[in-house]
A and B are shown apart, each in its own frame.
Chain A
Amino acid sequence: MNILVYFEERNGQVRKPSLEAVSAAKALGASMINAVIVGSNTSAALSDAVKTSGVSKIFTVDHAWFSEYSSKAAAKAVAEVAKSSGAEVVIVPATGRGKDIAPRVAVRLGAGYVPDVTAFAANGGSIHATHPVYAGKANVQVEVTTPVKVFSTRPNLWAAPKDASAVASIEAATGSLTDMDFADRTKELALSQGKLDVAEADIIVTGGRGMKGPEHWGLIEGLATSMHAATGASRAVVDAGWRPHSEQVGQTGKTVSPSLYVAVGVSGAIQHLAGMSSSKTIVAINKDANAPIFAVADYGIVGDAFEVLPALTEAVSKIKSH
């Protein structure tokens, strides 16, 4: 199986979910994995980690106009490389940008597409891709029935490849992009300053309405700092104006799959679970032993957050300082 992985570039770096997609490709038993990167100066992003990520070849599509990223143009470039390299499967990370280009690539290739895949299983000659539906209340296993197949993979579920011995060769791909393809142009990327984003973080401490008010967020931040975690919020908290929407986890917020998710004073409504139930380890702190969040928790404390949080922060700091 010949698999092409989309390497998403941001600020001169290939983002981690793309490297995780290489691991997903390996798990599918690829005989050949290539990558494609598009940008206005792609060579900047070709670090050692990227070159030794385990792909054979990295196709670079350089076009000055990509200094203003365009999903329409990027999709065309990826589809062209997929065709010319004979890819049977294209894997795009299910990031903000990836979720825009993957369906476009699928249409261009006449391929079936499964979004936001959380697991793959080989079934004879075919691939069964698992995709959570109904806000995570169910999973579907989907088979793509076209010869070429496109998937997007949920970030944080596959480990990024490490220490591959082979170094990828680099090949400039000359696509047929014209200025007409850049009908959408990204003028600016405004990142929230100095804070770890929930969508990227490996550990998240989320506060819910049980925190009673924004004035108590210092307790959430204290635990987050001790764990090097990002802070998240439930919708109730965001709607109340205690925290910005960018921190909201859930169906109408962000989907996260960190290695550790700590939910404090969060009831665990289905729309919240939709955003975090694929986290590897889930911890719940809630004074109501019957809160639905405990049904998905690996560990938990039934207790008052105002007593538990300071004690837990101290206990974690103690472990970290050893």
Chain B
Amino acid sequence: MNIFVCVSHVPDTTTKVNVAGDGKNIDPAGVKFILNPYDEFAVEEALRLKEKNGGEVTVVSVGAESSKEGMRQALAMGADKGILIKADKSDAFSVASLLADTLKTVNADIILLGKQSIDFDGMEIAPMLAELMDLPAATVVVSLAIDGGKATVEKEVEGGKEKIELAMPCIVAAQKGLNEPRYPSLPNIMKAKQKPIQEVAATAPAARTAVVKMDKPEKKRVGKILQADGNAAGAASELARLLHEEAKVI
């Protein structure tokens, strides 16, 4: 199978967000970057597909030279090679377009991604890529089976799960629960350094959205905190009263 995984390099989840001087981005000072956690599920699933069906796993990323760090992590998990599309990431559409331009040329059987990257949390790339490539896609996927030119997935939706059948080639975006990503072993980390990453120079299409400003959510919470202090019943009935009479939510 010819398997492709799109990965991104993002600030660590625990990063403290400080808004940069331009008021539109986060201040990158002191921020540690990691392979997007949802992409790890996608890489793991790709490796399992390869182990079962044979073939090759290629990781693809859009970004600057530094994106190679995230790609190396995927290569250390076991992916065979990488393609770095060198361009500025201006918005989700431009990233999806750059990915589509490259992926249209490679005869992929399946393209895997994380359901979202943990910086912009947009859940946009997989459906946009699918539309640009005219392919079927499923997101928030927690199980995947391939049989006879067809992929069957389970997607989490409100109140339960949908079972979706996709004609192949197709695009699948991973949710936590799809699998348990493996840890790269030390020898594999060493080997990953030798694996090829092809660079593609590209110009991003014009962005269709622009960040006007970034700010931290204002906390305008009421903040009435009661102390139980050996009188749990008293605090509980006061809380119930406040929820009923003041907040009017019960």
Interface residues of A (CB under 8 A from B): 70-72, 75, 95-97, 99-104, 106-108, 110-116, 123, 128, 131-146, 183-192, 197, 199-200, 203, 227, 245-246, 251-252, 259-260, 270-271, 274, 277, 280-284, 289, 294-304, 307-308, 311-312, 314-316, 318-320
Q: Which secondary structure dominates where chain A touches chain B? A: mixed
> Which residues of B in the span 201-231 have a Cβ within 8 Å of any Cβ on A?
207-217, 219, 221-229
Q: Knowing A72-B136, A184-B137 touch, does A271 contact B127 (C-beta < 8 A)?
A: no
Interface residues of B (CB under 8 A from A): 11, 13-17, 19, 24, 26, 37, 91-93, 96, 118-124, 127-128, 130-132, 135-140, 142, 152, 155-167, 170, 175-177, 207-217, 219, 221-229, 232-233, 235-237, 239-244, 247, 249-250
A-side contacts of B164, CB under 8 Å:
184-187
Q: Is B163 touching A188 in the complex (CB atoms < 8 A)? A: yes
Q: Knowing A96-B157, A311-B236, A312-B236 touch, does A141 contact B211 (C-beta < 8 A)?
A: yes
Q: Once bound together, how far apart are the Cα atoms of A189 and B26, in whole Å?
A: 40
Q: Once bound together, how far apart are the Cα atoms of A231 and B100, in whole Å?
A: 41
Q: Is B232 touching A299 in the complex (CB atoms < 8 A)? A: no
Least distance between A179 CB and chain B CB atoms (Å): 11
7 further interface pairs, Cβ-Cβ under 8 Å (given A113-B209, A307-B232): A106-B208, A112-B208, A139-B215, A141-B214, A227-B250, A277-B217, A316-B240
Contact for B250 among A183, A203, A280, A300, CB less than 8 A: A203
A-side contacts of B243, CB under 8 Å:
260, 281, 283, 299, 316
Q: Is A134 touching B217 in the complex (CB atoms < 8 A)? A: no
A-side contacts of B222, CB under 8 Å:
298-299
Q: Is B158 touching A95 in the complex (CB atoms < 8 A)? A: yes
Q: Knowing A72-B136, A103-B124, A299-B225 touch, does A260 contact B249 (C-beta < 8 A)?
A: yes
Q: Once bound together, how far apart are the Cα atoms of A114 and B135, in whole Å?
A: 22
Q: Is A99 touching B123 in the complex (CB atoms < 8 A)? A: yes
Q: Is A96 touching B127 in the complex (CB atoms < 8 A)? A: no
Contact for A192 among B124, B159, B166, B217, CB less than 8 A: B159
A-side contacts of B124, CB under 8 Å:
103, 113, 115
A-side contacts of B136, CB under 8 Å:
70, 72, 183-184
Contact for A303 among B123, B209, B228, B249, CB less than 8 A: B228
Contact for A71 among B127, B128, B156, B221, CB less than 8 A: B127
A-side contacts of B207, CB under 8 Å:
112, 145
Q: Once bound together, how far apart are the Cα atoms of A188 and B164, in whole Å?
A: 7
Q: Is B250 touching A199 in the complex (CB atoms < 8 A)? A: no
A-B contact pairs, 17 of them (CB 8 A): A100-B139, A103-B123, A115-B123, A184-B164, A190-B163, A199-B159, A251-B13, A282-B221, A289-B225, A298-B247, A300-B224, A304-B228, A311-B232, A315-B236, A315-B241, A316-B240, A318-B237
Q: Which 5 A-B pairs have the closest CB atoms?
A: A303-B228, A112-B208, A96-B157, A311-B236, A184-B136
Q: Knowing A95-B157, A96-B156 touch, does A113 contact B93 (C-beta < 8 A)?
A: yes
A-side contacts of B121, CB under 8 Å:
115-116, 131-135, 251, 274
A-side contacts of B167, CB under 8 Å:
183-184
Q: Knowing A103-B127, A299-B243 touch, does A140 contact B213 (C-beta < 8 A)?
A: yes
A-side contacts of B93, CB under 8 Å:
106-107, 112-113
Q: Is B128 touching A132 in the complex (CB atoms < 8 A)? A: no
B-side contacts of A274, CB under 8 Å:
121
A-side contacts of B236, CB under 8 Å:
301, 308, 311-312, 314-315
Closest to A271 in B: B13
Q: Is B224 touching A96 in the complex (CB atoms < 8 A)? A: no
Q: Is B240 touching A319 in the complex (CB atoms < 8 A)? A: yes
Q: Is B209 touching A301 in the complex (CB atoms < 8 A)? A: no
Q: Is A134 touching B224 in the complex (CB atoms < 8 A)? A: no
Closest to A103 in B: B127
